Amino acid sequence: MSSDTPIRVLVAGLGNMGRSHALAYARNPGFEIAALVNRSDVALPAELAGHAIRRSFEDALAGEKPDAVAIATYGATSGQALAGVVGPLIEVPVLVALVYVALALRPRFFPASGDRARR
């Protein structure tokens, strides 16, 4: 993707925050709206009226193949929101714990390197 090619973004969720994000993308020449996804019909501002609202997040991803996705959904019933937070909430703490384990075991497996690291 060259710097003059707009980033194609899919916006999931068209509540207040989702509409705000979609409008910001529509007004920014560096972005192009690839698709809008919402579970129900919502009134769209005039700037977004030319875009159809897709019902299925997965179908929109597969069909449009966006460069980026803005997930602006709320609640535990939203699969998109859950998918967007599971990584940071689970993977990051696990990786931090593994770093602490590796640091604690370093002197046992690399006794000389532990002394150099403290100097």
CATH number at residue 56: 3.40.50.720
Is 1 within a domain?
no
Is 28 within a domain?
yes
Residues 55 and 23 grouped into a single domain: yes
Residues 53 and 111 grouped into a single domain: no
Q: At what angle do helices 111-118 and 92-109 cross, to 10 degrees?
A: 110
Contacts of 25 (CB under 8 A, 6+ apart): 9, 11, 31, 32, 33, 70
Is the model's pLDDT at 84 over the cut of 80? no
Sheet containing strand 31-37, strands side by side: 53-54, 31-37, 7-12, 68-71
Is 81 within a domain?
no
CA 110 – CA 87 distance, rounded (Å): 32
Query: Model confidence over 24-57: pLDDT tens digits?
Result: 999 999 999 999 999 888 989 999 988 989 999 9
Domain of residue 31: give its range: 7-74
